[in-house]
Amino acid sequence: MAGILIAITVFGNGCSWIEGIAEWFSQMPEVEETTETPTAPEPPVTPIDPEWQTPSASGENVTLPDFVAVVNKVKPSVVAIQTDRGTGSGWIIEEDGIIVTNNHVVEGAQEIIILLDDGRNFSAQEVRTDPVTDLAVVTIDIEGLPSADIGDSEKLELGEPVAAIGNALGEGISMTGGWISQLDVTLPVSDVQTLNDLIRTDAAINPGNSGGPLVNMAGEVIGITSAKIAQVGVEGFGYAISVNSAREIIDQLIVRGYVLRTYLGVRVSDINPVVVFLNNLTVNRGAMISFVSPGSPADIAGLKTGDVIVRLADEKIESARDLIEAIHAREIGEEVEIVYWRGDNEYTLSVVLTEVPPPS
């Protein structure tokens, strides 16, 4: 009660406590905002296939006569995925049991069952995920599967017909058709995640479609559909991760077991009036560090919990998302300058970015 009385006294003159915070916040010096690099777990993982190379685009671009022919060609390569957390889809990229899906389909699942088009089902053997791009690779112990052909998403054009094939609503493999509405879409999907190079289509994409293929009229995979980003509350807006941007991620998940990125080693939170007030911050813009990973570049450079990062190199950071993107755009081993606030003082330090530690 005393704390409330003190707050009301400070802001006085009929202002409410919240109004007082807002007024105080608006009068503070404006600086820039940064984001965090996600903290990765430690020990290394084993690769699925160190010699792997994603198959090249078929290049034939032979248009099939109708959607019936497209489905007949692609459907044997599409799988339904059942987990203890829900259902999803995937598609066979390698006949020896390597399957591509979305990260959010398998993330955190204790049990993953792959249902093939011929009715057989298998437990997942290995799972490799990349939350940043919402992609994952799953393996099953079987050979001789029908793998899907991969297309070239760079050759797509607006108005081109496409089909989304997958386990929509968990009711088995089905197909919806539509057209390409927009290319090279950038879409924020959370406060700290933005997906780039997306394909927008009016083909219906529903829960359960996640991870399934978006295919062209040659029956080639040109995108990985995602119900996670399709649910934007607008009719006729479905999205798929373009296969060209997904290829490098898929390759790294198979060859290395994780995606190699630059690493700072902090978790941060965005700043708002309440964060400023409760932490007695001097600035109203930036990203406050909530955790520094021991032994990380940030730790070695001297960053601490409670510091507010406002600039990375020559980039003004406006959100947590901005910092992640800025870190990932840098080279491993690159030395960058970070400007941050600690208490009432602004400081600058240099940090050498390393590679993200492999997940456990």
Amino acid at 201: T
Q: What pLDDT shows up at residue 18? A: 52
Q: How is domain 16-42+261-355 classified at the CATH fold level?
A: Pdz3 Domain (2.30.42)
Instruction: Answer yes or no: is pLDDT of 12 > 80.
Output: no
pLDDT at 286: 86
Q: What is the mean pLDDT of residues 251-259?
A: 93
Pick the catalytic residue: 77, 210, 245, 293? Answer: 210
What are the residue ranges spanned by the domains of the chain? 16-42+261-355, 67-255
Q: Report the Cα 267 to chain-centroid distance in Å.
A: 16
DSSP calls for 127-167: EEEETTTTEEEEE-S-----PPEE--GGG--TT-EEEEEE-
Q: Known catalytic residue: 49?
A: no
294-326 pLDDT, tens digit per residue, is 999 999 999 999 999 999 998 988 777 778 778
Overall average pLDDT of the 214-228 stretch: 93
Tens digit of each residue's pLDDT (9 = 90 or more) over 85-129: 999 999 999 999 999 999 999 999 999 999 999 999 999 999 999
For the ranges 75-84, 169-178, 183-192, 202-211, which has the lowest average pLDDT?
183-192
The catalytically annotated residue of 77, 89, 130, 134 is 134
What number is the average pLDDT over the span 228-239? 72
Percent of the chain with pLDDT strictly greater than 70 = 84
pLDDT interval class at 150 (50, 70, 90): very high
- Which residue do the tokens 């493999």 mark? 173
More confident residue, 275 or 58: 275
pLDDT-derived band at 21 (thresholds 50, 70, 90) equals low
* Residue 59 pLDDT: 62
Is residue 58 within 8 A of residue 149, CB to CB? The reply is yes
Q: For the residues 74-79, what does the mean pLDDT come to?
A: 97
Give pLDDT, residue 234: 64
- 197-226 mean pLDDT: 94
Choice among 77, 89, 104, 147 that is catalytic = 104
Residue 231 is predicted with a pLDDT of 61
pLDDT for the residue numbered 7: 38
Backbone angles phi, psi at 170, to 5 degrees: 70, 20
Could you tell me if 187 and 228 are in contact, meaning their C-beta atoms sit under 8 angstroms apart?
no
Q: What is the pLDDT of residues 27-71, one digit of tens each?
A: 655 544 444 444 444 445 778 888 877 777 766 567 888 999 999
Q: Which neighbouring-strand residues pair with 112?
A: 83
- Residue linked to tokens 């599967």: 145
Concerning whether 104 is annotated as a catalytic residue, the answer is: yes
**In the prediction, which pLDDT does 199 show?**
96
pLDDT at 292: 93
Q: What is the pLDDT of residue 191?
A: 61
Strands 149-150 and 220-225: parallel
Angle at 193 between CA 191 and CA 195, to 5 degrees: 135
Mean of the per-residue pLDDT values for the chain?
Answer: 85
CATH class of the 67-255 domain in this structure: mainly beta
More confident residue, 62 or 2: 62
